[in-house]
Amino acid sequence: MAAATLWGTTGTAATFAPPAASGVAIGSATMGLGGLILALLAPRCAALLRMGRGMLVVALPGAAAIAVYPLAFYSSMAYAGVAIGTVVSIGSSPVFAALLERLLEGVRLDSRWAVATAISAVGTILLVLGGHAGPQGGAALPVLVGVVLGLVAGATYAGYSYAARRLIQAGHPSRGVMGLLFGMGSILLLPVFALTGEELWSTTSGALVAGYLAVVPMGLAYVLFGAGLRHVGASTATTLSLVEPVVAAVLSVLVVGERLGVWSWIGAGLIGVGLLALIARR
């Protein structure tokens, strides 16, 4: 939850980047540079490369998910706004995490899961169609594009959380696992940053934003996240991270000046109801 609180500041921080900086540039800077920091600071990170073929089959898709996630997440916020982009990205991740556990581990999905997912889906539709004042002025098509990108972000977030959890459960140290996965992801992201990030590295405001995002919501938060994964499952971790969209929504209204319409707030509430139904114990 501490990690998710720090993540909730990312969308608002990104709004202070130069206007010409794209979501792809901000995302690749955040997790490309942050992943490199995690890899350099992680103990025994390089030794994990000798973990064996069975674990590499888990690590490689996890690293690929890490590379896709920030590009989709920050682009989602650029199209749909901080509040909607974050709610869809993080709000959808427990659903994808449950699907992964069903497909890969045979965990049963009951009727309660289906009802909860349906409620959350209706909430997402209302969130998109309810109107808001964000970077695109509430136009339907850009918001829809942002929602689709948010779903991609939610799926990849669940994917790398699952991979990290599997590696940690196998007995590898959490900081080493996070360093390995994010270091591998940074190998894919740093070339993207080099091609798209000129507006960030060539301006003071851009460099400050990139530095904050790489060190605090990336470096520090993922050390906390990895430590938490020692004690909870991937689906639980992604559900606990729903603190993030709450923080992001509050900051988007108080700092960025976004405004959600009434139906959008109702939709956000339905997403919360669906997710609570998903995790509530009988």
Instruction: Give pLDDT, residue 140.
Output: 67
pLDDT in tens, 148-166: 999 999 999 999 999 998 8
Instruction: Give pLDDT, residue 62.
Output: 94
Instruction: Give pLDDT, residue 76.
Output: 92
What gap in Å lies between CA 24 and CA 40, rounded to an integer? 24
List b or e across 143-164, with b for residues whose CB sees 16 or more CB atoms inside 10 angstroms.
Answer: bebbbbbbbbbbbbbbbbbbbb
Instruction: Give pLDDT, residue 282.
Output: 43
Instruction: Give pLDDT, residue 150.
Output: 93
Tokens 């982009």 belong to which residue?
A: 85
pLDDT in tens, 100-117: 888 888 777 777 777 877
The stretches in the chain having pLDDT less than 50 are 282
* Nearest residue to 160 via CA among 73, 25, 68, 30: 68
